[in-house]
Structure 1
Amino acid sequence: MARYLLVDADLAGFAQYQELEADDDGLWWVVRQIDDHPAGPRRYGAGAVVVDDQGMLSDQPSTAQELDDTEFTTVISAEEFERRWHDAS
């Protein structure tokens, strides 16, 4: 089952939209990603991500607990992710 995550621009310096999937160990990994830069083209990335105490992203896997921390993340629906994915410029 996929999980859809939005990291707000004021937390990461830019908006980052990610589709994540859990592995057998319960860690969440990025499947698709949009980095929404106002003047840039659409970009895609694949890798692991974790949100730290300052709302920054690293290249480590995320736990469900970290993704559930609504202080730094906002869960969006699959439909909203697809809309943002297709509207990204």
Structure 2
Amino acid sequence: MKDYIEERVLELARYITETGATVRSAAARFRVSKSTVHKDITERLLEINPGLAAEVKEVLEKNKAQRHIRGGLATREKYLHQKSDSHNH
């Protein structure tokens, strides 16, 4: 594996474990696609550092379990803003 890929994988893993970042937010932060993040942490990281891979997996499983809550909150915010915008016009 190329050194720069290995370095990115480790940086991604550290970022996710330290911040609790989602795949989407990690992808945005590192300017890569969500599928790249996913491949980096599910396949490449397992080869490089299995212990860290297990930690990252825990964070991502927690994020996945909370996904429906974040989606609901985002929808609620959207409609609250639409409602307030319509009252201002």
TM-score by length of 1: 0.28
More helix by share: 2
- Greater Rg, structure 1 or structure 2? 2
More strand by share: 1
TM-score by length of 2: 0.28
